[in-house]
């Protein structure tokens, strides 16, 4: 009963926010942007990119990139809870899951997954910059610290 009560209170407190979005973003406003767009689920997007695997390229900071099997990917402790580090930084905290078929980058004893080839090739060029952008985004939205498991990065903040 307590759990249902808590969930009910959460839904009731979030309802005003959804109402505002429905009023601002009506179907008439959104339709021109969605014409011809194919909206894929995360599973469909990963499946479509299976054939297009990343061919590792030698870059100055390319510390280590390797392709791994799906079963190993689930066990690997990826940064940002398996979300694409590049997308988090590039698209202002957009949470897109990483694709195990693209590959994994090891940088400073941390593993990073990526959603596509572009992400996997741009991130190693300036990894510290992307990591700082994610940290700045988490400072602006503290709920990301918990969601992305950034406790060690923010350990000195009380």
Helix or strand (DSSP H, E) at 107: strand 104-107
Helix or strand (DSSP H, E) at 111: strand 110-113
Q: Where are the alpha helices (DSSP H) in 25-126?
A: 27-34, 42-48, 70-75, 85-90, 117-122
Radius of gyration of the chain (CA): 19
pLDDT for 116: 85
All residue ranges of the chain with pLDDT < 70 are 49-74, 155-158
Q: What is the DSSP letter of 97?
A: B
Q: For the beta carbon of residue 109, count every other beta carbon within 10 angstroms.
A: 6
Give the C-alpha distances (Å, rounded to integers) separating 27 from 5, 17, 21, 34, 129: 33, 17, 11, 10, 38
Q: For the beta carbon of residue 27, count every other beta carbon within 10 angstroms.
A: 8
Q: For the beta carbon of residue 86, count every other beta carbon within 10 angstroms.
A: 28
């Amino acid at each position: 009963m307590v759990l249902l009560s808590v969930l009910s209170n959460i839904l009731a407190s979030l309802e005003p926010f959804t109402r505002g979005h429905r009023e601002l973003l009506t179907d008439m406003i959104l339709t021109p942007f969605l014409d011809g767009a194919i909206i894929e689920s995360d599973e469909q997007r990963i499946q479509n990119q299976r054939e297009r695997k990343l061919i590792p390229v030698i870059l100055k900071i390319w510390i280590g990139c390797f392709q791994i099997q799906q079963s190993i990917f689930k066990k690997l402790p990826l940064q940002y809870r398996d979300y694409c580090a590049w997308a988090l930084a590039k698209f202002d905290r957009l949470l897109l899951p990483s694709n195990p078929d693209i590959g994994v980058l090891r940088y400073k004893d941390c593993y990073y997954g990526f959603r596509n080839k572009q992400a996997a090739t741009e991130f190693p060029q300036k990894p510290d910059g992307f990591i700082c952008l994610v940290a700045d985004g988490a400072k602006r939205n503290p709920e990301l610290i918990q969601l992305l498991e950034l406790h060690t990065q923010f350990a000195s903040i009380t």
